[in-house]
Amino acid sequence: MRFRKSFLWLSAVSIFLASAAHAGQSLKKPDLMPWPAQIQMTGGEYRLDSSFVVKIAGHAPARLYSYADRMLRRLSGKTGLFFSQDYLSPDSAVKSPSMEIRADRPGKLKLNEDESYKLDVTPSGIMLTAKTDIGAMRGIETFLQLVQGDSAGYFVPGVRINDYPRFPWRGLMIDASRHFMPLDVIERNIDGMAAVKLNVLHWHLSDDQGFRAESQTYPLLTRLGSDGLFYTQREIKEVIKYAADRGIRVVPEFDMPAHSTSWFVGYPQYASEPGPYSVERKFGIFNPVFNPTSDNTYKFLDGFFKEMCRLFPDEYMDIGGDENNGKQWNANPQIQSFMRKHKIADDRALQTYFENRLIPILTKYHKKVVGWEEILSGQLPKTAIIQSWRGAQSLQEAARKGFRALLSKGFYVDHYMPASFYYLNDPLPDSIGLTAQQKKLVIGGEACMWSEFISPENIDSRIWPRTAAIAERLWSQDSINNVADMYRRLDGISLELESLGMTQMKNQDMMLRRLSAGLNPAPLANLVNVVVPVELYMRARTGRYTSYCPLTRVVDAAVPDPEIARHFSNMVDHLVSGGAVSGEELASIRARLLAWKSNDAALENLIASSPVLREIEPVSKRLTDAASSGLEAVDRIQRGETADTSWVNSKLSGLKQDARPAGEVGLVIISPIEKLVRFAGSR
């Protein structure tokens, strides 16, 4: 099988290269992400001009007309062309279309709906066909990514694409509880999801720090448990429609029996201790938990889910189920007596009892259950979906027991890992050890955006563009796994996402200007371009963060996978692995190092005027030290000298010290400079 996959991929590449060889510049490899299942560059191109018109054929629903109309506006904005076609509707009469879009039927917002499409681009026109309008939406995003420009104008290269997803569940979880995310944040990220073919918004709406969904049945949930920051039912309906119009499902999560402090601020009678309770300001695992032995708990939850199940139309409801420490249960004599009477062995078994009482309520309201891996038990109905957050072991266990499973372990984008880390995290690696039938139960995965250290200002920089790499892992074939090519395309996709309203680039510039107190932010930007936030749990262990701490510092502006640092690392890797040393390569590396070495002096003026920057002063000086070591290594390499062992060890020891973080950021270029030092000692 592995040989066959490799052969098919090489064949596709051969077709591509052969086409490009005789077609010229217009057939450069497009920056598509996710990469299609099948693609053939056919030669030639379709030239775009102001006469471009679109026709929707067949019996398409209104949302496809709206989607195609947005496509036209985006295309106009991208090219600057003034299209004569102003608005697409079922009444639009187009006799000679430049692009025809045909869908056989309206797609349903449900698991396993058909999202396939075919796209053919020839010099005479463009044809997009799909079995559902959702598939047509996915094809529209591919079409927009294909648009290129040259000296003659804009064009779409000749291509034949047959595309479909590898996994049916491709999600993004946004935690709106730890830090509330306003409606515009949610909606713009839905646009980003659609652009990279994600199809499930997992909306984390309750936790210890806030209850975010309006309940008219139990109004104290938000009146007392949200600090006034919540989504009204009207707003929730708006988000659901906004997502549906883009072929995206909305699955809400109401976490229980733990992570539930905010429930008990207004309704303490359903907790396992009497309270009173207040909204939790810090982050972590807390004791409050529902009382699973009281019938009143289930009457309360019945009323709540009756309302929420009507509000959220998706067939799935997420009940969380994670991180219950059991302390309230163990300290409650009534609960302990109940456990002895009913022969419930431990807290895990008591949580299973809770779930077995809760799930029939959801079933009554025609919902199936999703939950984190802690809900996995032998008594769980096979309709449930298990979401693995701790590792592949629980995902495999779920599949072996006949449950459908999602992978989130390794897709936590709040952990500041580079895109390459997420890209190579496959839900079904060769080593998974499942049968063919069990593998079918692994239905996809979700990127998880937990919000302990996230604000509406910087959330996009934590989600994008790295989540596009996760989207490709979940859509594209497993043979598409070249990291360098992923990064080549990711840079272009980041620009595409920005044009849709994502703020991952522009908000960083804004934050740096603010931190620079009106002075030139360039020296600060030079430093931020080579640092990353410290590992998430290191930040959490400080114990000083609450829901209302500032998220406006350098650590909050720094991005997890800075492009300039990555390009520098790639230059060094090419140098040390390439045999003959190129003067041009050395010159490029030297230029970077010289700029970093001199940056501290310029940054001192900013720090003197902006006290908030004082915490990163040590990192700035360490950048100078590290760059100086790199320059010494480059000098030796250029002269053809082999550095002695004592020099190498001394420099490596200094670089280890330079790697220490300050202000909760650390230099990400230490490793490539270490490679330069070792290379200088190995010639």
pLDDT in tens, 243-280: 999 999 999 999 999 999 999 999 999 999 999 999 99
SS3 378: coil
The pLDDT value recorded for residue 11 is 40
In angstroms, rounded to a whole number, what is the distance separating the alpha carbons of residues 172 and 470?
A: 10
pLDDT tens track for 509-552:
999 999 999 999 999 999 999 999 999 888 888 889 999 999 99
Look-up of token digits 């769980």: 380
Give the Cβ contact number of residue 579 at 10 Å. 6
Task: Name residues whose C-beta falls within 8 Å of residue 297's C-beta, 6 or more positions apart in sequence.
Answer: 270, 290, 291
Helix (H), strand (E) at residue 353: helix 347-364
Quote the radius of gyration of the chain (alpha carbons, Å).
Answer: 27
Q: Which is more confident, 427 or 1?
A: 427
Give the Cβ contact number of residue 435 at 10 Å. 10
SS3 481: coil
- Answer whether 400's CB lies under 8 Å from 434's CB: yes
In angstroms, rounded to a whole number, what is the distance separating the alpha carbons of residues 157 and 25?
A: 10
SS3 597: helix
- Answer whether 554's CB lies under 8 Å from 538's CB: no
The CA–CA distances, whole Å, from 596 to 106, 205, 259, 335, 399 equal: 55, 43, 45, 62, 50
In angstroms, rounded to a whole number, what is the distance separating the alpha carbons of residues 485 and 482?
A: 5
- Answer whether 288's CB lies under 8 Å from 327's CB: no
**Cis omega (within 30 of 0) for bond into 292:** no
User: What is the signed CA dihedral for 298, 299, 301, 303, rounded to 10 degrees?
Assistant: 160
The CA–CA distances, whole Å, from 63 to 85, 139, 368 equal: 18, 15, 27
- Answer whether 565's CB lies under 8 Å from 530's CB: yes
Give the Cβ contact number of residue 580 at 10 Å. 5
User: Is the per-residue pLDDT at 579 higher than 70?
Assistant: no
Give the Cβ contact number of residue 62 at 10 Å. 12
In angstroms, rounded to a whole number, what is the distance separating the alpha carbons of residues 357 and 354?
A: 5
| Dihedral angle sign, alpha carbons of residues 259, 262, 265, 271 | negative
- Answer whether 616's CB lies under 8 Å from 665's CB: yes
The pLDDT value recorded for residue 523 is 97
The pLDDT value recorded for residue 13 is 41
Q: Which is nearest to 504 in space by CA: 465, 474, 534?
A: 465
Query: In terms of DSSP H, where are the helices of 531-616?
Result: 536-540, 554-557, 563-577, 583-597, 599-609
pLDDT tens track for 596-611:
999 999 999 999 999 9
In angstroms, rounded to a whole number, what is the distance separating the alpha carbons of residues 289 and 304?
A: 17
The pLDDT value recorded for residue 683 is 74
- The predicted model gives 433-446 an average pLDDT of 97
In angstroms, rounded to a whole number, what is the distance separating the alpha carbons of residues 289 and 568?
A: 49
The burial of 666, by beta-carbon neighbours within 10 Å (0-12 exposed, 13-18 middle, 19 or more buried), is given as: buried
User: Is the per-residue pLDDT at 2 higher than 50?
Assistant: no
pLDDT tens track for 359-407:
999 999 999 999 999 999 878 999 999 999 998 889 999 999 999 999 9
Task: Name residues whose C-beta falls within 8 Å of residue 3's C-beta, 6 or more positions apart in sequence.
Answer: none
In angstroms, rounded to a whole number, what is the distance separating the alpha carbons of residues 254 and 228?
A: 18
Marked catalytic residue, from 323, 397, 604, 632: 323
Helix (H), strand (E) at residue 252: strand 249-256
Across the chain, mean pLDDT equals 94
- The predicted model gives 651-661 an average pLDDT of 98
- The predicted model gives 465-475 an average pLDDT of 98
The pLDDT value recorded for residue 10 is 37
Copy the structure tokens of residue 420.
């390459």
Instruction: Name the least confident of 47-61, 110-124, 521-535.
Output: 47-61
Instruction: Name the least confident of 210-219, 475-484, 518-527, 537-546.
Output: 537-546
User: Is the per-residue pLDDT at 79 higher than 90?
Assistant: yes
What percentage of the chain exceeds 70 in pLDDT? Answer: 95
Q: Which is more confident, 86 or 509?
A: 509
- The predicted model gives 228-236 an average pLDDT of 98
Look-up of token digits 């937990």: 450
Task: Name residues whose C-beta falls within 8 Å of residue 561's C-beta, 6 or more positions apart in sequence.
Answer: 417, 418, 419, 466, 532
The pLDDT value recorded for residue 38 is 98
Amino acid symbol at 129: T
Task: Name residues whose C-beta falls within 8 Å of residue 70's C-beta, 6 or more positions apart in sequence.
Answer: none
User: Is the per-residue pLDDT at 122 higher than 70?
Assistant: yes
The pLDDT value recorded for residue 296 is 98
- The predicted model gives 184-198 an average pLDDT of 98
pTM: 0.94
Task: Name residues whose C-beta falls within 8 Å of residue 348's C-beta, 6 or more positions apart in sequence.
Answer: none
pLDDT tens track for 150-182:
999 999 999 999 999 999 999 999 999 999 999
Please, how many CA atoms are within 13 Å of residue 443, restricted to the half-sphere of its CB? 21
Please report which confidence band the pLDDT of residue 23 belongs to, taking 50, 70 and 90 as the band edges. very low
User: Is the per-residue pLDDT at 26 higher than 70?
Assistant: no
Domains of the chain: 16-163 (3.30.379.10), 169-262+298-461+470-481 (3.20.20.80), 506-680 (no CATH)
The CA–CA distances, whole Å, from 54 to 64, 89, 95, 106 equal: 12, 11, 10, 19
Catalytic-residue membership of 238: no
| Cα distance between the two ends of the chain | 42
The pLDDT value recorded for residue 93 is 80
Helix and strand numbers (H, E) in the chain are 27, 18
Q: Which is nearest to 477 in space by CA: 527, 428, 433?
A: 428
Beta pairing class for 316-320 and 385-388: unpaired
The dihedrals phi and psi of 316, each to the nearest 5 degrees, come to: -115, 145
User: Is the per-residue pLDDT at 12 higher than 60?
Assistant: no
The dihedrals phi and psi of 161, each to the nearest 5 degrees, come to: -125, 135
The pLDDT value recorded for residue 88 is 87
In angstroms, rounded to a whole number, what is the distance separating the alpha carbons of residues 259 and 664?
A: 27
Amino acid symbol at 637: I
The dihedrals phi and psi of 351, each to the nearest 5 degrees, come to: -65, -40
- Answer whether 286's CB lies under 8 Å from 279's CB: no
- Answer whether 159's CB lies under 8 Å from 119's CB: yes
User: DSSP labels for 419-459?
Assistant: HHHHHT--SS-TT----HHHHTTEEEEEEEE--TT--TTTH
Q: Rounded to an integer, what is the distance from CA 80 to the centroid of its chain? A: 30
SS3 407: strand
Please report which confidence band the pLDDT of residue 72 belongs to, taking 50, 70 and 90 as the band edges. very high
Copy the structure tokens of residue 421.
């880390």
Q: Which is nearest to 156 in space by CA: 125, 113, 115, 114?
A: 125
In angstroms, rounded to a whole number, what is the distance separating the alpha carbons of residues 276 and 434?
A: 48
Q: At what angle do helices 617-639 and 645-658 cross, to 10 degrees?
A: 160
